[in-house]
Amino acid sequence: MSGRDALNERPSDAALAAALRALPEAAPVPDLWPDLARSIDARRRRPWRYALPVALAAGIALALVLPKFATHEVTPSEPATPVANASAPADDVELSQLHKRSQSLERWIAAVAARAPQDGRDLMAAVEVEDLIGLVDVQLGGARTDSDALPLWRQRVALLEDLAVIRGNGVALAANGADGEAMSASLNLLN
Amino acid sequence: MSAASFQIEVPELVLARARRGDARALEQIYRAFERPAYTLALRMVSDAESAREVMHDAMLRLIERIGQFRGDAPFWGWLRQIVVNEALMHLRKSRGAAFEELDERDEPAGDGPPPWLLADAAQLERALGELPPVTRSVLWLYHVEEYTHQEIAEMTGKSVSFSKSQVARGASRLRRLLDRQEKEAASCLAATL
């Protein structure tokens, strides 16, 4: 039993594990491959269709980030999303802080992403988090008020922080000796 | 069925062709992992249609990302992780039932002989199907796929103690479900005599 202390398992646990493993394997009926092959073929023929959700999420993110780069703003700014101002001033302040934090994290992630290879596990985790960020971005595009947008921005920043740590793992390893503390310290600089 | 059934080595030549988008290589990979991947999805999401969706999405995800696989970890582990992630995502999307989990009221069952020693596959599958999806998934990932509690906690976004409690309570609930099936079968038999 890989990575687990089999000695700590009760006999009934071992018996349950054996019973579950003895269950027969299943196969999709009808065969799934023809559908899958059609999906693959359709994506190859119409790459725009596959790329559209990604482009939409990227477009929204760009719309949020680009004005700030263009004007070199360093002070808290208006929310970049086209949401109505139907929120309390405290929410506005938090939204502004979340925008800035989000931008800082994105710049950091963009800077480190190309610097180091990722191992398979980190890569999978990064892809998962990137997909979730894309989903949040799509939801942000539909947010009508600041109150709607606020929890989504919190979620987006939390996901970006996760992604920064995952990307940072690769850089730390590639730096051959750069340890987790150094990476945490550079992340903390973004706060 | 065990973690070992997933442990299929894919020849580097096949992987190289698949990275180039060779349809035959992709199908070879699909065929190699069809059963263990579908079985894992089915055990986690429970119904065949959802399992097909998970499998379909997982394979598309694999095909999209295969160019990024660098071979520093076993391919089967990478693919299995994709299937688990897709199944968990499916469970999260279908909230409500999905993150219903067994609570404190599910006390440990008695110390009698475990009923899974006597149950046949159909009975065990039926009882498994009655567990809440997350509990069933955690139980399966731990006992069959041999993930550690720490790994399960990371995948589900919950704590290690959550994983441990779901495994313990899931086993306890399974025991009660199988006991109930046994009693129902016995009463049916008595009624026919």
Mention the CATH class of domain B3-93. mainly alpha
Q: Where are the domains of chain B?
A: 3-93, 115-192
The count of CB pairs under 8 A between chains A and B is 117
Are the Cβ atoms of B34 and A32 closer than 8 angstroms? yes
At B106-134, the pLDDT tens digits run 555 556 778 888 888 999 999 999 999 99
Number of domains in chain A: 1
pTM of the model: 0.60
Residue A175 belongs to a domain = yes
Which residues of B are less than 8 Å from A173 in CB distance?
none
Assigned token pair, A120: 């398979």
Residue in B56, B68, B151 nearest the CB of A35: B56
Q: For residue B87, is pLDDT > 80? A: yes
Residue A37 belongs to a domain = no
Task: With cut-offs at 50, 70 and 90, classify the pLDDT of residue B81.
Answer: very high
Are the Cβ atoms of B70 and A119 closer than 8 angstroms? yes
Task: With cut-offs at 50, 70 and 90, classify the pLDDT of residue A1.
Answer: very low
Q: How far is B128 from chain A (nearest CA, A)?
A: 9
- Lowest model confidence (mean pLDDT) among A42-51, B37-46, B101-110, B125-134: B101-110
* Arithmetic mean of pLDDT, B11-23: 90
Interface test with A, best of B50, B144, B149 (most A CBs within 10 A): B144
Residue A169 belongs to a domain = yes
Task: With cut-offs at 50, 70 and 90, classify the pLDDT of residue A71.
Answer: very low
The one-letter amino acid code at A104 reads S
Angle between helices B133-143 and B121-130 (to 10 degrees): 130
Are the Cβ atoms of B117 and A15 closer than 8 angstroms? yes
State how far the alpha carbon of B127 is from the alpha carbons of A80, B99, B136, B158, in Å: 51, 18, 10, 25
Residue A110 belongs to a domain = yes
- Residue B87's CB is within 10 A of a number of other CB atoms, namely 29
State how far the alpha carbon of A126 is from the alpha carbons of A166, A191, B40, in Å: 6, 21, 23
What is d(CA A114, CA A121) in angstroms, rounded to the nearest whole number?
17
Which residues of A are less than 8 Å from B114 in CB distance?
12, 15-16
Closest to B40 (Cα-Cα) out of B84, B10, B86, B78: B84
The interface predicted TM-score of the complex, written ipTM, equals: 0.85
Contact A83, A138 (CB under 8 A): no
Residue A19 belongs to a domain = no
Mention the CATH class of domain B115-192. mainly alpha
* Arithmetic mean of pLDDT, A16-28: 92
* DSSP letter (8 states) at residue B114: P
Residue A42 belongs to a domain = no
Are the Cβ atoms of A39 and B148 closer than 8 angstroms? no
For residue B189, the model assigns a pLDDT of 65
Residue B78 sits at φ, ψ, to 5 deg, of -65, -45
In which domain, by residue range, is A168 found?
51-188
The one-letter amino acid code at B69 reads F
Which residues of B are less than 8 Å from A24 in CB distance?
1, 121
Highest mean pLDDT among A13-17, B56-60, B70-74: B56-60
- Residue A98's CB is within 10 A of a number of other CB atoms, namely 20
